[in-house]
Amino acid sequence: MDQSKREKLLAEHMRARPHLREIFQFLEKIEEVRNASAPDDLLSLVDLRDASVKDRLSRGIPLIDRPGFARLSLPHTGGTFRKLLTVMRQGGGEREVFASRIATFIRSEGGEEGAVIARILSREDGYLDGVSQTMEVPRPLLVFLIKMSLRSSFERLHETLLAVLRGLAWEYTHCPVCGAPPVIGQAMDNDHRRYYCFFCSWHWETRPLAGCPSCGEMDTELFNLLYKHPNEHQGLLACESCGTYLKMVDQREGPDLLNPDIQEILGLHLDMAAGELGLRPLGQPLSQAETIVRPGIDDYRP
């Protein structure tokens, strides 16, 4: 979805849902920063030799090797991150406090935002958890800021990888580019489903699995579409066996691309319903199961 379409869609949703205006306005400011940002080159994270690509993808291994981030220079990403912290400060209240804590941590680490981001991404998730605790900043908020800082860089990488990934028969529910789980699933027709990556924003199409995409549960008493919004065609693909869920959007009558950032906000009520049922998002470790409401908007209340 190009920039003009995203802006138009965001404006339409703000008019139609005044109770979500503050959250949409925050996203709008984030979008303005992101659209003005220059990308860093992430291509060195991927081994594009034909044999390597085929081998990894045939075994369900994503193209990006996380340790490779340690070798990257991310000056543009760091600059975007710094601007996002300014947006946070302008929001006042708790966001301003979190922005100050993040900036203090970065100064203690040498003051280069890009270097800190590269170090976080090159390590296992336990390192990110430790950084979040040291900062005293919610983990999902930190992840949100990092991924939005990298969005332009990932979009540039996706353009390069189109030839590699076009027509790929990828039958997994993790992203073939970065390995992150999907944040949204989109029913295109009865035989095709589109997933949107939580972190790098890549989207891919596959045939729906017969059972739970997380554990393979087939019993429809334990795995089913639990809730469907009558007007917005949204629901929870939920599994009581493994305790996970994925937000689904039914667009079988018009399979246009979604804007996953906007769709996240529209599905907040589903996240809250899932939390009340004791479910956690697909791909989220049990240790983070208390984090149900999504990054950047974790203080939302209806």
184-231 residue pLDDT tens: 888 887 778 889 998 999 999 888 777 788 888 888 888 887 766 666
Residue located via tokens 């149900």:
292
Phi, psi of 289, rounded to the nearest 5 degrees: -65, -15
CATH architecture assignment, domain 182-288? Alpha-Beta Complex (3.90)
Which residues fall within 8 angstroms of residue 43, CB to CB, at 6 or more apart?
A: 157, 160
Asked which of 54-68, 102-116, 152-166, 279-293 is least confident by mean pLDDT, the reply is 279-293
Q: How confident is the model at residue 52, as a pLDDT?
A: 81
**Quick one: pLDDT at residue 15?**
65
Residue 83's nearest CA partner among 152, 153, 6, 145 is: 145
Number of neighbouring beta carbons within 10 Å of residue 145: 25
Highest mean pLDDT among 3-12, 58-67, 271-280: 58-67
The pLDDT of residue 299 is 35
Span 45-59, mean pLDDT?
85
Q: Is residue 270's pLDDT more than 70?
A: yes
Amino acid at 5: K
- The reply to whether the predicted model has a pTM over 0.85 is no
Instruction: Spell out the residues 6+ positions from residue 216 whose beta carbon is closer than 8 angstroms to its own.
Output: 209
Looking at 183-197, 235-249, 286-300, which range is the least confident one?
286-300
Q: What is the pLDDT of residue 73?
A: 94
* Interatomic CA distance for residues 177 and 147, integer angstroms: 14
pLDDT given for residue 292 in this prediction: 34
The predicted structure's pLDDT at residue 40: 96
Which tokens hold the place of 209?
A: 């699995």
Q: What is the mean pLDDT of the segment spanning 261-274?
A: 80
Query: One-letter amino acid identity for 72?
Result: L
As a whole number, the mean pLDDT across the chain is: 82
Side-chain half-sphere exposure of 197, counting CA atoms within 13 A: 21
In 3D space, the residue among 6, 10, 150, 11 whose CA is nearest the CA of residue 78 turns out to be 150
| Average pLDDT, integer, range 1-18 | 61
What's the CA angle centered on 56, arms 54 and 61, to 5 degrees? Answer: 145
Indicate the domain borders of the chain: 37-163, 182-288
Of 129-138, 175-184, 191-200, 277-286, which range is least confident? 277-286
The whole-number pLDDT of residue 217 equals: 83
Distances (CA, A) of 82 to 133, 155, 238: 20, 20, 37
Name the amino acid, one letter, at 43: L
283-292 pLDDT, tens digit each: 765 444 333 3
Q: Given this model, what pLDDT does residue 250 score? A: 80
**Burial of 84 from C-beta contacts in 10 A (0-12 / 13-18 / 19+):** buried
Q: Quick check: 62 pLDDT over 60?
A: yes
Q: How high is the pLDDT of residue 249?
A: 86
Nearest to 151, CA basis, from 31, 249, 236: 31
- 246-281 in b/e burial notation, b at 16+ Cβ within 10 A? bbbbbbeeeeeebbbbbbbbbbbebbebbbeeebbb
Angstrom distance (rounded) from CA 141 to CA 84: 12
C-alpha closest to that of 193 among 177, 207, 183:
207
Structure tokens at 284: 């989220």
